[in-house]
Structure 1
Amino acid sequence: MTLKKPSVVLIDLDGTLVDSVPDLAWVTDQMLDSFNLPPRGETKVRKWVGNGVKSLVKRALTDQLDGEPEPDLLDKAIPVFMSLYEQHACVESTLYPGVKQGLAWLKQQRIRLGCVTNKDARFTLPILDKLGIHDDFDIVISGDTLPRKKPDPAPLLHGAEFFGVTPDKAMMIGDSVSDVKASRAAGFSIVCVSYGYNHGADIRTMEPDAVIDTFAELESLF
């Protein structure tokens, strides 16, 4: 499929640029251990990430995708998770294959880049720095930058406004249903990676404009 080349591309972090699950799983299990709960392991955590820390902690405490723990337990668990993750946000996390090549190609095309994630800035920025891609982005919109997160379109519209472009000239690259919903609501085109998290579901069922297996395939879309 041939797509119109955008002026701006906003890119999701977890499951799109970075495989952060090894660190998130370690932190999750350490948090659970502090409450004498059993570990959940990387396989389960891989299906739970993508909607922010609060959702991940809820899922870990209940061992369910849509579980609701006791409010008191949740209130105690979130600060424990945050403290652990600050120390262990990018120990085992890695860039996916082709990410640096794809980012370099986008910049060669004079396409301006932003990162849009539901992860808080205090975790996002160190990960981007450590993995050597922070300077590829003109703006980083984290989960605590605005009052609303994806799948709300607000972060994407904020990015378009920052770059001074209309939504029809902007594209989102992501891995999840939240990315697709936010893009459609904002009027962005949306390309998804096939390898992301998306709670274990095939992202093709959400009918993004295109699906790629690696960032190296981006240039074949335009």
Structure 2
Amino acid sequence: MTTCAAPIRAVIVDLDGTMLHTVPDFELALNGMRAELGLEPVTQDIVTPLVGKGSERLIRDVLARDFDAARIDAVFAQAMASYQRHYLAINGSRTTLFPDVIEGLQALAAQGLRLACVTNKPIAFATPLLAQKGLAGYFEIVYGGDSLARKKPDPLPLLQVCRDVDLAPAQVVAIGDSSNDAEAARAAGCRVLTVPYGYNHGKPVQDIDSDGIVDSILSAAAWISSYNAECMQTTHAQANQLI
């Protein structure tokens, strides 16, 4: 447990790799796009480390297996349109919830915490997916990778949430699976917790600069509860010293 700076009053949760295992959907949509370009299919092992930096980067990285930069630029608009068409057609069909996500969101809500979902997935994909998987009702704020001028690892989406809920960044914690989440949180001045089961661009989560690795969203809720209890004890101790 880290030293208490301020009680946590809001939580920003990532989507892909944190709440939902979406790689099977990515695989299906990307291979639909690749087939239209006359390319061989890719596997989930190839796709997984490419997830998390937004659709534009995903498409370019997948095409880079076959094309040089000039060719990628030439077909990018066609490839993006194809990918979006395929993804919208199958969005959520093979996506599954990670363990204890619903229970974790319920525990966070029970603590009176305000909840936001910030993802680099386009908002047109994220919103129906949250609804389909029974997650939409937990979040008062949802931002996709194209909702604002910049996406994670830029701090802008997290700072926007802080403004939306009228809280200082020190009162907000981000929960994610990748360095994108941690870098955005650190730059914004928020706390950050990392789940170990996600994607993180194929790199170990132990390398991420976070305030702790938690087994699940439910474990994150327990971490926050303990953190806030410690904050309360510290505040009471300081008040007693002034008496």
TM-score when scaled to structure 1? 0.95
- Aligned 1:49-198 pairs, distance under 5 A: 49-63=51-65, 68=69, 70-198=72-200
In the TM superposition, what whole-angstrom CA distance separates every residue of 1:87-117 from its partner, at most 9, and x where no partner exists? 1111011111010111000011001100001
CA contact (8 A) 2:91 2:125 kept: yes
* Distance change (3 Å), C-alpha of 1:171 and 1:43: same
3-state SS of 2:99 partner: coil
Letter paired with 1:117:
T
CA contact (8 A) 1:113 1:137 kept: yes
In the TM superposition, what whole-angstrom CA distance separates every residue of 1:101-138 from its partner, at most 9, and x where no partner exists? 11000011001100001111110011000000101001
3-state SS of 1:91 partner: coil
Letter paired with 1:10:
I
* Distance change (3 Å), C-alpha of 1:140 and 1:3: farther
Q: Which has the larger radius of gyration?
A: 2
Q: Higher helix share goes to which structure?
A: 2
Q: How many residues align?
A: 220
- Structure 1 stretches of 4+ with a deviation exceeding 2 A read 1-5, 67-70
Structure 1, unpaired ranges of 5+ = none
Q: CA deviation at 1:205?
A: 0.6
* Distance change (3 Å), C-alpha of 1:2 and 1:219: farther
Cross-structure match for 1:26? 28
Q: Matches of 1:171 and 1:199 in 2, distance apart?
A: 21
CA contact (8 A) 1:40 1:63 kept: no
Please provide the CA RMSD for this pair.
1.5
TM-score when scaled to structure 2? 0.87
